[in-house]
Amino acid sequence: MALELLHLPAALLLGPMAVAVLLAVTGASVKTPRSGFVIAQGVVGLMIATSLPPTIFAEIADQWPIFVAGVLSTAAAAACLGWLMARARIFPGTTAIWGSSPGAASVMTLMSESYGGDMRLVAFMQYIRVVCCALAATVVARSMGVTPDGSPAAMVWFPELPWPAVVGTVAIAVVVSLIGARLRIPGGPMLLPLAVGMALKLSGLMPIVLPPWLLAASYAMIGWGIGMRFTPDVIAHAASTFPRVLMSVLSLIAICGVFAVILVAVTGIDPLSAYLATSPGGADSVAIIAASTKVDVPFVMTMQIARFLFVVATGPATARLLSRAARS
C-alpha cells in the first residue's frame, strides 16, 4: 500500500513481491496455494481484456501503416537487445528475451516459465523497465512544460457493485484459468481468460466487473508467488547483472525516443503524444500521464495496446527464434 500511495506503477504487485523476496532469502517460507496463483492469473487476464477499448481495431484499421510501423519498430529494437543479452549468456535459457519484451510485463513474466525462462529474473528485468519507462515519461512530460491536470482521484476500494456480474466474472476467472492450467497450455491460466474476456467484451454478451479489492488481492497473490521463488543465489545473480540490464532498458527508451521523433516528422502528431505512444512499456503509467495531459489519448493508448497484443501473440515464437539464433 505504501508504494500505491506513491503512485508507483504496478505497486500492488511489486510491494508483495519485494516482501516475499526478503522473506525467501532469509529462509522464511509462506507458500501460496498453486490454485490461488492460477486463479489470480485468470483475474489479471480478464482485467487486461476489460482495458481494451471497443474501437481499437477500427482505430488501427484507419491508420494501419503508422501502427504497424510503430509496433514493429519497438518490438524489433527490444528483440535485438534481448538477443544481444542472450548471446552474452547474461541470463539462462530464454530469460533475457522474455525480460526484454517491450510491454505486457505481468504476462511475459508468467508466460516465460512455460518456455524455458526463469520467471524470477524475467520479473526482475521487466519491472526495472516498467519503473524506468514511467519515470522517463514523467520527466519528458515535465520537460515539455506539461503538468498533470490535478491530482489523481482517490481509489474507492469497496464501491457499490452489480453483484450478479461480479459473481459471474469471478466464476469465469476461476473455471477458465483452472482449465488453462489443466490443459497445460503455456501461459494458459492467463491467456485463456484473456481470450474469453475479449470475446465477451467485443460481443457484449456479459459485462466483466472486477472490484478493486479483487484486483489488489490478485496482484498481491502473483507478486507473492513470484517473490517466494527467489533464492540468495538468484538475488546475487540479479544484482551482478543490474548495470547491464539498466543499460539495456535505457538504450531501448532512447531508441524509442528516436522513433517518436520520426513519428512527429512523418505524421505531424505532437511530440508528447508521439513519445507516450512509443514508450516501451508501462501502459498503465502511460495511460495515467496521457489522461491527465493534453495529448491525443486515443492514439497513445491504441498504439500501446496494439503493441501489447502483438507482444503477447508473438512472445513464444520470438523467444524460440532468438534463443536458437543466440546459440548458433
Reading phi first (left if > 0) and then psi (alpha if -120 to 50, else beta), residue 204 is in left
Domains contained in the chain, number: 1
Task: Record the pTM.
Answer: 0.74
Q: What is the DSSP string of 234-277?
A: HHHHHHHHHHHHHHHHHHHHHHHHHHHHHHHHHH---HHHHHHH
**What are the mean pLDDT values of the chain's consecutive 10-residue runs (328 residues total)?**
48 76 76 84 83 74 89 93 89 88 79 84 86 80 64 66 89 93 79 87 85 87 81 85 92 94 91 90 64 74 83 86 80
Q: What is the Cα 55 distance to its own chain's centre?
A: 21
What does the pLDDT read at residue 2?
47
The runs of H, that is alpha helices, within the chain are 2-5, 11-25, 34-50, 56-62, 64-87, 95-99, 105-112, 119-143, 163-182, 188-203, 212-227, 232-267, 271-278, 283-291, 297-327
What does the pLDDT read at residue 61?
83
Compute the Cα dihedral for 307, 309, 312, 313 and give only its sign.
negative
Which structural domain range is residue 104 located in? Answer: 2-24+31-146+154-327
Q: Residues 23-48: pLDDT tens digits?
A: 877 777 677 788 888 898 888 888 87
What does the pLDDT read at residue 153?
55
